[in-house]
Structure 1
Amino acid sequence: MKLSDVSLSHHYASLGDAFGTPVSPTPFAHPKLIHVNPAVLEQLGIDPAEADNPAWAEIGAGAKLLPGSRPFAMKYTGHQFGVYNPELGDGRALLLGEVQNGEHSWELHLKGAGKTPYSRFGDGRAVLRSTIREYLAGEALHGLGIRTTRALCIVGSDEPVTRERIESGAMLIRVAESHVRFGHFEYFFYTRQLEALQKLIGYVCERFLPEAKSLPVAEQAEALLHFTVARTAELVAAWQAVGFAHGVLNTDNMSIIGDTFDFGPYGFLDDYEPEFICNHSDHTGRYAFEQQPGVALWNLNALAHSLSAFVSAETLKDCLEEFQPRLVDAYAAQMRAKLGLEQKEDGDQQLCADLLQLLADARADYTLFFRALAHYRGERPAAALQELIPEAQHDALEAWLHHYDQRLARDGGDSRSRNRAMLAANPKFILRNYLAQRVIEAAEDGDYRPLRTLFTLLQSPFDEHPEHETWAAAPPESGKHMPISCSS
């Protein structure tokens, strides 16, 4: 359909006053259209050629509303760094409504749209830097096959916004199947609005668990927790396998349907460091890369507690106990794919653990090593792998490769087919923080060409793109451990 044919519905905003507040966006005076995502247009059922429609500048800046739009600031709470905060909600974003495309419904969320009743002391704005980071991150994870929100467009402005420094304001339209967070359930539970909590449970079941929508609330809540535990376990397994650190896994940043949600100080691993912390405000390492599975389970416990008004403690415990085996199975399957193993063996976990220990000892680049391994065919010396490992670890690499060769022999199959499968499981291009910073600095100077280039590469990260080798290179030392804040 054409942009002029788009009309939004607003099922969430119709749930009632307890769920949030209608708010009009505060538009930019002179919006500048920076980029429109043709792939997301297609996802919404809109003709990708509409990416060139100049109307996106006003729509993406909140100056023009799509027909049927009902801007709505959602109210929720949540645990931030393990501490409950009752003062949360959409403080700089508005749910515009939903686009229906066949059987799928997609919510549009305008970020940076100005103050709402939940802004606390904030200005309700977003900056170009953070907007570009979210725009790229959604596309990067989607290209890697990981569940995530995405973004429709970026609009910039000349409006000054103060963060660590004065920056230019920007807005982004986020697209997701649902913007319901764990914190929505916590809000109604802790404020004892149990009728609203029951309505929220029914709303999510109707959209994502239709087989449960006619059940009593206790059974709906149980089905919902089973669903969210499974989705979250699979999501975190995918993060760990690809080397993605979210950075701020508060319960208000956790999607009830298991999407990657609310991009801030995220980071993809450069060197393999299990203890990697990408958020410079995370002084205790609560959200370090290796801590993500445990934090996700902690957050699921918080969600389960908010359902305890309807579900017994024993049933909640049974649901939560599904997390670890689901996570382990999903992670093992992903790592077998990265290693080119079709069959499952008891020793695979140890083979993988030994490799990860080698990479950690060597501070080897996680993505480059696995991509090089995808080209490995048993050659000696394994020069391409040795180049990524300090000489002091070459003997350890040789010992690991000996066991790996034996395992590949037991697995069977020909090396060409295995290498092709491994290249489809090990990306060449990832969204490294130093690349994002390069794009941001160019965009702040008005040059959007690097943004378009990186955006395109992240949509097909497993392809070779030989003309863009520099975008797949390891970062310089100055590009590692870049300080990334929550305002990012």
Structure 2
Amino acid sequence: MTNKTGWNLDNSYARLPEKFFTSTNPTPVRSPELIILNESMADSLGLDVKLLQSEDGVEVFAGNEIPEGASPLAQAYAGHQFGHFNMLGDGRAILLGEQVLPEGGRVDIQLKGPGRTPYSRGGDGRAALGPMLREYIISEAMHGLGIPTTRSLAVVTTGETVIRETGLPGAIMTRVASSHLRVGTFQFAAKWGTIEELRTLADYAIERHFPDIEADESRYLSLLQEVVKRQAELIAQWQLVGFIHGVMNTDNMTISGETIDYGPCAFMDAYDPATVFSSIDRQGRYAYGNQPVIGGWNLARFAESLLPLLHDDEDQAVTLAQDKISIFNDLYQSNWLAGMRAKLGIFNEETQDEALINGILSMMKKHGADYTNTFRALTFDKMEDTVLFGTPEFAQWQELWQARLGRQKESKESSNQLMQNSNPAVIPRNHRVEEALEAAVEQEDYSVMERLLDVLANPYAHCEKQAEYAALPESTKPYRTFCGT
């Protein structure tokens, strides 16, 4: 197929040792239909939106046609899943290649749900429409919130049924990522590769994501440090908006610091660190309050995989790795504190700030206050909209907060603007996401999803059309999410 649509694909990952992937083509589908196309993203990738919407463009999104320059492959990786180590790999995803961007740089173009691969482990390699649209909605919401994330370029239906507990409409999503290099990719290399293969992978990660450290004398130690930094920033951003990933296995943690694999993810309503939505997380391993701890645990597994590259002496390598891993908690905490100060309109730092922050959070937990809407109420001085209003403890806290704001040189207007820029008007409320998915899957009505996406595109706009999407669900029934595989 010609590149008239603007595909400009290279395949640097395919030039790694063959151990890291298996070349494989998507399995064609019967009658693909384009459901949604991310037009602004397509423009940024240098693609022709109109041609992508044509039959030729849809055939690529469906895996029926391979664009010129593509070299389809399934990536090999391992991972700790709920703490247990397994050999994994792309069981229902195929990397077409890397789109070289008009301004330089590159991003992965991956099909999710295009059929079986050598790593499918008995699965059908297919995906259902609901989970693919869910990933599209949540990843675009994360992008709107300014949080590093993989994104969705398009979703097509396949005209075929996938069997899960019941028959569901099949779909394929086209995912865009800085890369799909995972902690689990390095775990795979350390377990089943040679030291030279591990070194080649590390060099590739540095060249692709951290070119500034290529000349470092201890470049692999610098690689560990940079990944620790990015993950500390990322997880702090998750916490600041109440995002719960739901399945923080090491194969779902990127080297680039992007959020990836939106399976049983959701956003928290009432503030509670113990919040879990995933039906398979029965022990709460990946609860909201545990995410920073698990982030550190996953990074320790990454460090273990790099040990042969850090020093010839294993004990020395462990010491060097521990030194870099030890900074994660402090980095996370400083990122989180900076973000929480901004949510409260605070520009400078005082030692009592953490107590002030924990004070409002503990009240929110005690009274079951909504996380997002409480900060929104503080932003617009509408505390009567929250359950905290009228309690003596909140009145006391508010006095302390106002006194704190009075001790900084910035004006009240500047402080309020900082809060508006730090507290979203809307998040993808679970009941709104379900409403959109139900209309799409059950009635083939995509207008509900399109309106939701429009509202989520600029969550800090605080505009009139966002107000109804900030409302809480009427039902108090516990919300459950499912993996989607």
TM-score bin, normalised by smaller chain? over 0.9
Find the counterpart in structure 1 of residue 433 from structure 2.
436
Contact 2:243-2:268 within 8 A present in 1 as well: yes
Letter of the 1:184 counterpart: T
Partner of 1:69, secondary structure, is coil
Matched, 1:338 2:343: yes
Q: For the residues of structure 2 that align with 1:95 and 1:224, how far apart are their CA atoms?
A: 24
Partner of 2:152, secondary structure, is strand
Matched, 1:21 2:22: yes
Please report how far the alpha carbon of residue 122 of structure 1 lies from its aligned counterpart in structure 2 after TM superposition. Answer: 0.8
Please report how far the alpha carbon of residue 54 of structure 1 lies from its aligned counterpart in structure 2 after TM superposition. Answer: 4.5
Q: Specify which of 396, 400, 405 is matched with residue 403 of structure 1.
A: 400
Q: Cα–Cα, structure 1 residues 327 and 3, in superposed 2: closer, same or farther, change >3 Å?
A: farther
Percent identity between matched residues is 38
My pick for the range that moved more, 2-11 or 171-180, is: 2-11
Q: Cα–Cα, structure 1 residues 27 and 432, in superposed 2: closer, same or farther, change >3 Å?
A: farther
Letter of the 1:24 counterpart: N
Find the counterpart in structure 2 of residue 360 from structure 1.
365
Q: For the residues of structure 1 that align with 2:153 and 2:128, how far apart are their CA atoms?
A: 17
Partner of 1:273, secondary structure, is coil
Partner of 1:310, secondary structure, is helix
Find the counterpart in structure 1 of residue 415 from structure 2.
418
Q: For the residues of structure 1 that align with 2:247 and 2:82, how far apart are their CA atoms?
A: 8
Q: For the residues of structure 2 that align with 1:332 and 1:477, how far apart are their CA atoms?
A: 33
Q: For the residues of structure 1 that align with 2:206 and 2:243, how far apart are their CA atoms?
A: 29
Partner of 2:307, secondary structure, is coil
Partner of 1:185, secondary structure, is helix
Ranges in structure 1 where 5+ consecutive residues have no aligned partner: 377-383
Q: For the residues of structure 1 that align with 2:54 and 2:4, how far apart are their CA atoms?
A: 8
Q: Cα–Cα, structure 1 residues 242 and 468, in superposed 2: closer, same or farther, change >3 Å?
A: closer
Q: For the residues of structure 2 that align with 1:427 and 1:27, how far apart are their CA atoms?
A: 41
Q: For the residues of structure 1 that align with 2:447 and 2:4, how far apart are their CA atoms?
A: 25
Q: Specify which of 453, 468, 471 is matched with residue 455 of structure 1.
A: 453
Q: For the residues of structure 2 that align with 1:318 and 1:468, how far apart are their CA atoms?
A: 46
Partner of 2:172, secondary structure, is strand
Please report how far the alpha carbon of residue 417 of structure 1 lies from its aligned counterpart in structure 2 after TM superposition. Answer: 2.9
Partner of 1:424, secondary structure, is helix
Letter of the 1:388 counterpart: T
Q: For the residues of structure 2 that align with 1:44 and 1:457, how far apart are their CA atoms?
A: 23
Find the counterpart in structure 2 of residue 248 from structure 1.
247
Contact 2:24-2:73 within 8 A present in 1 as well: yes
Contact 1:386-1:394 within 8 A present in 2 as well: no
Partner of 2:308, secondary structure, is coil
Find the counterpart in structure 1 of residue 137 from structure 2.
136
Please report how far the alpha carbon of residue 3 of structure 1 lies from its aligned counterpart in structure 2 after TM superposition. Answer: 5.1
Q: For the residues of structure 2 that align with 1:242 and 1:415, how far apart are their CA atoms?
A: 23
Find the counterpart in structure 2 of residue 99 from structure 1.
99
My pick for the range that moved more, 88-97 or 220-229, is: 220-229
With normalisation by structure 2, the TM-score equals 0.94
Q: For the residues of structure 1 that align with 2:400 and 2:179, how far apart are their CA atoms?
A: 45
Q: Cα–Cα, structure 1 residues 160 and 49, in superposed 2: closer, same or farther, change >3 Å?
A: closer
Please report how far the alpha carbon of residue 209 of structure 1 lies from its aligned counterpart in structure 2 after TM superposition. Answer: 2.1
Please report how far the alpha carbon of residue 117 of structure 1 lies from its aligned counterpart in structure 2 after TM superposition. Answer: 0.5
Find the counterpart in structure 2 of residue 90 from structure 1.
90
My pick for the range that moved more, 295-304 or 451-460, is: 451-460
Q: For the residues of structure 1 that align with 2:16 and 2:215, how far apart are their CA atoms?
A: 18
Please report how far the alpha carbon of residue 53 of structure 1 lies from its aligned counterpart in structure 2 after TM superposition. Answer: 4.0
Please list the CA deviations of residues 379-434 of structure 1 after superposition, one character each: whole Å capped at 9, or x if unmatched: xxxxx32331167x721211111111111111243333322221111111111221
Partner of 1:5, secondary structure, is coil
My pick for the range that moved more, 45-54 or 306-315, is: 45-54
Find the counterpart in structure 1 of residue 331 from structure 2.
326
* Aligned residue runs from structure 1 range 257-276, under 5 A: 257-276=256-275
Ranges in structure 2 where 5+ consecutive residues have no aligned partner: 311-316
Find the counterpart in structure 2 of residue 313 from structure 1.
318
With normalisation by structure 1, the TM-score equals 0.94
Q: For the residues of structure 1 that align with 2:192 and 2:465, how far apart are their CA atoms?
A: 56
Find the counterpart in structure 1 of residue 314 from structure 2.
none
Q: Cα–Cα, structure 1 residues 229 and 71, in superposed 2: closer, same or farther, change >3 Å?
A: same
Find the counterpart in structure 1 of residue 118 from structure 2.
117
Q: For the residues of structure 2 that align with 1:310 and 1:170, how far apart are their CA atoms?
A: 41
Q: Cα–Cα, structure 1 residues 46 and 414, in superposed 2: closer, same or farther, change >3 Å?
A: same
Q: For the residues of structure 2 that align with 1:485 and 1:224, how far apart are their CA atoms?
A: 34
Q: For the residues of structure 2 that align with 1:55 and 1:481, how far apart are their CA atoms?
A: 44
Q: For the residues of structure 1 that align with 2:304 and 2:465, how far apart are their CA atoms?
A: 52
* Aligned residue runs from structure 1 range 144-293, under 5 A: 144-214=145-215, 219-293=218-292
Q: For the residues of structure 2 that align with 1:166 and 1:116, how far apart are their CA atoms?
A: 22
Where has structure 1 moved over 6 Å in runs of 4 or more? none
Contact 1:37-1:51 within 8 A present in 2 as well: no
Letter of the 2:41 counterpart: V
Contact 1:163-1:487 within 8 A present in 2 as well: no
Q: For the residues of structure 2 that align with 1:214 and 1:407, how far apart are their CA atoms?
A: 45
Contact 2:140-2:457 within 8 A present in 1 as well: yes
Q: CA RMSD in A?
A: 1.7
Please list the CA deviations of residues 238-292 of structure 1 after superposition, one character each: whole Å capped at 9, or x if unmatched: 0111110100000000001111011110111111111000211111110000000
Letter of the 1:466 counterpart: E
My pick for the range that moved more, 428-437 or 393-402, is: 393-402
Q: For the residues of structure 1 that align with 2:199 and 2:411, how far apart are their CA atoms?
A: 55
Find the counterpart in structure 1 of residue 313 from structure 2.
none
Find the counterpart in structure 2 of residue 10 from structure 1.
11
